[in-house]
Amino acid sequence: KKKLILDVDTGVDDAQAIMMAVTDPNVEILGITCCHGNTPLENVLKNTLRVLKACNRLDIPVHRGCSTPLLARKQHAGDYHGKDGLGDVPDPDAPGLELLQKKKAVQALIKMVKENPGEVTLVATAPLTNLAVAVQLDPSLPKKLKALYIMGGNVESRGNTTVCGEFNFVADPEAAYIVLDRYTCPTYIASWEFTCRNSLPWSFCDKLLAQDTEKARFMKKISAFSMKKAQSADYQKEVTEGKGFNSCDTYALAAAINDTLITESEEVAVSVELEGTYTRGMMVLDYMDLLKKKHKAVVMKKVDLEKFKQMCMNSLK
Ligand code: BDR
């Protein structure tokens, strides 16, 4: 089985990613570490437990992580995910936070990786604060990882949060900088533009959410708010070029569990802009090797869409 740790800021697409990991029989989730991001940390924790409950998997350890970025001002993505991060649908039966593990996310992350050297794939779909703090505490952590998959950054300076910046990187640029600099393990990046270009057609989304399962009903409920947003003419025109719905985090997770999913990618050194009036938080790609960085990341370009659709279908079964 593939051993995974998920670092999340559970909004709607993190929820879909978690469900995909939980449902795959070839995956073992060692733990889920939570970070501020789409919504304040307290909501992230609650949302993560809600998703696990919908999957009947409250046995998976969930850890409380960083509630603020390293230096940046805190920001959330309520406009897209709803104020509570999961579409603002009331859930009176949400599990309580007493179910959280005592160990905090960063310590848990370090421990889980140490106990499984060379075996853990870390999938980060949140601002990278937890990962940055972890490598500061344990500089040998990246060497012990099998791979790191990140949803974040952009490849053509098309922003979704600032003019040039993608949310996860803009929400903590210093953390993103540290992670891209220090995690010298095999690193795979699902950028914002990549997810837009490989969006799921709406007709497929209808089929996906119409499945007669508890998980599909849950997903349909929590994604209604963001789907409506994504269906707006402006979003379709400017973001996915009419292609459909981009469940961003799910691409990173799917790529981590299926080695044949990505059909086109490129290896390039990457970093993050930390200053700049318009460009702070933007990922930069060093095609000319001017930064002389030894470590290159694999930047995803194309996905096998049929395979991805099948994985999405299975995730809600
Ligand atoms: C990323 O930001 C969040 O809104 C999504 O969950 C995803 O991780 C896309 O920019």
Task: Tell me the per-residue pLDDT of 183-214, one tens digit each, with 9 for 90 and over.
Answer: 999 999 999 999 999 999 999 999 999 999 99
In this prediction the ipTM stands at 0.97
Ligand 1 center to 13 CA (angstroms): 7
CA–CA separation, 270 vs 102, rounded Å? Answer: 35
Q: What is the pTM of this model?
A: 0.98
Residue 279 has pLDDT above 80, yes or no: yes
Cα within 13 Å of Cα(152), Cβ side: 36
**Ligand 1, atom nearest to 125 Cα:** 8
Please name which of 111, 112, 189, 185 lies closest in space to residue 145, comparing C-alpha atoms. Answer: 185
Stretch 268-282: mean pLDDT: 97
Strands (DSSP E) contained in 75-159 are: 120-124, 145-151
Residue 263 has pLDDT above 90, yes or no: yes
Tell me the pLDDT tens digit for each residue of 210-261. Answer: 999 999 999 999 999 999 998 887 777 777 777 789 999 999 999 999 999 9
Ligand 1 center to 65 CA (angstroms): 18
Ligand 1 center to 25 CA (angstroms): 26
What pLDDT score does 233 carry?
76
Give the 3-state secondary structure of residue 65.
Answer: coil
Residue 111 has pLDDT above 90, yes or no: yes
Ligand 1 binding pocket, CB closer than 6 Å:
11, 13-14, 38, 77, 80, 125, 151, 160, 166-168, 192, 248-249
